[in-house]
Amino acid sequence: MTDLLENLIIHPEADFRRAGSDLLSGVLSQIHLTGDGIDTRSLSASDRLELEADAAHICIVTKGTLHIDSEDQPLQSLEAGDLALLPRRATELRLVAGAEPATILVCRFWFDPESLRSMIFALPRCIHIHQADSAGWLEGIVHFLLAEANDTQPGAALMISRIIDLVVIRALRTWVHLGHSSGWLGGLTDARIARALKAIHEQPMQRWTIESLAAIAGMSRSSFSARFAALVGSSPLRYHNEWRLGLARDMLTKRSARVGEVGLSIGYESEAAFSRAYKALFGHSPRDETRAT
């Protein structure tokens, strides 16, 4: 099982060298996606926008207003020129047109199996980029998206996938630059916190303490804990535990592995303890993951 874990651990040094020490590029290089659809939806006032349940989506409002809300997120209103990146299940959100008819450009994509789902899970359900914050890049990309959507020439499918990939990366980069990001993306905005995140990602089985992580960050224990929580959205040790469980989830869905062996490989001393922690985070037992594959 050591090899199994080793295959899933990010080794940032190699990626960061290729990306010119750009931490964000290094992490995003671990996420791969395939885009396969672009279409324009016309909604009447108060109509609901229906999206495919198991896909991720980009929604760009070209006319009117689109309201997005969920049980645990405040209402967000997208105006013409705004973008919403929806990296997870669309069924968790309610998307409804405003008081006037709306036109939405919808891009559908899937994260490829080799992407670490731990990273995707850490993203919010909706990332909203306002037109004023897109610095003009979105308008140009929309032009290409619309052109490729109506193109039947050979290679159109590849063009669509590549453009959607570009939009996702550009949206995430904008979100980080604006300081709105949380999770591992939020932590990358601070070089000291990024060093601690890198250590956690490289050595998930290490029995990290606040003191050891603070030393890596070059900060006092209290300053490190406060800064980490403010940027990442959880305490350092909770993040470490959730990262380990995310790795375990990838192991269970990608390979035939026993639940007890996976738990042991990420540092749990018993299958029961691992199963309890897993269910507390994901809402179902680790055995359910093996049955689904």
Rounded mean pLDDT of the chain? Answer: 81
Q: Provide φ and ψ at 214, rounded to 5°.
A: -65, -35
Structural domains of the chain sorted by starting position, each given as residue range(s) with its CATH number in brackets: 1-30+182-293 (1.10.10.60), 32-180 (2.60.120.10)
pLDDT value of residue 17: 34
Q: Which residue's structure tokens are 């000291």?
A: 192
CA dihedral sign of residues 142, 168, 19, 133: positive
Q: What is the mean pLDDT of the segment spanning 188-213?
A: 87
Q: How many of the other CB atoms lie within 10 Å of CB of 175? A: 21
On whether the CB atoms of residues 245 and 266 are closer than 8 A, the answer is yes
User: What pTM did the predictor assign?
Assistant: 0.66
Q: Over pLDDT 70: what percentage of the chain?
A: 81
pLDDT value of residue 242: 85
Q: How far apart are CA 255 and CA 235, in angstroms?
A: 30
Q: Which of 92-96, 192-196, 197-201, 252-256 has the lowest mean pLDDT?
A: 252-256
3-state secondary structure of 135: coil
Q: How far apart are CA 81 and CA 211, in angstroms?
A: 46
Alpha-helical (H) ranges within the chain are: 2-8, 12-18, 23-28, 117-121, 137-149, 156-177, 183-187, 191-202, 210-217, 221-232, 236-254, 259-265, 271-282, 286-292
Strand order of the β-sheet with 65-70 is 73-79, 65-70, 94-97
* DSSP string over 14-74: HHHHHTTT-HHHHHHTT--EEEEEEEEEEE-TTPBPP--TTSEEEEEEEESEEEEEETTEE
Which of 8-17, 50-59, 120-129, 181-190 reaches the highest mean pLDDT?
Answer: 50-59
Q: What is the mean pLDDT of the segment spanning 195-199?
A: 86
Q: Which of 78-87, 89-98, 141-150, 187-196 has the lowest mean pLDDT?
A: 141-150
DSSP type of residue 133: G
Q: How far apart are CA 64 and CA 97, in angstroms?
A: 8
